[in-house]
Structure 1
Amino acid sequence: MSDTRRQTRWAIAVVSLFLPAATIGASWLIWRGQLPERIASH
């Protein structure tokens, strides 16, 4: 019982740490991908 609960707590901690980083990384990649197109279109 305690082992599965510990794994669940670890999973929640990993997700809570990884999710914001993934969101920031994805938005940064999208911003980096769109920025050269905007500069070239001008």
Structure 2
Amino acid sequence: MGKYQLDYKGMQQVERFHEKHSTVKSDKKARVQALLKQAKKKTGK
């Protein structure tokens, strides 16, 4: 096993950290595309 082993609480903190820092990039891309779709709808009317 590894040198550093985390208990349940530590694993939750690590998971939360990775979720927080990994989804920001994908959320920005999804948000930009959603805004572009809205802009196209507004200009198309």
Q: Give the structure-1-normalised TM-score.
A: 0.62
Identity of aligned residues (%): 3
Instruction: Tell me which residue corresponds to 1:22.
Output: 27
2: CA distance, partners of 1:4 / 1:33: 42
Larger CA Rg, structure 1 vs 2:
2
Q: How many residues align?
A: 40
Flag the structure with higher helix content: 1
Displaced runs of 4 or more, over 3 A = none
Matched, 1:37 2:42: yes
Instruction: Tell me which residue corresponds to 2:3.
Output: none
Give unmatched runs, 5+ long, in structure 1: none
Give unmatched runs, 5+ long, in structure 2: 1-5
2: CA distance, partners of 1:37 / 1:3: 49
Q: How many angstroms does 1:39 deviate by?
A: 5.0
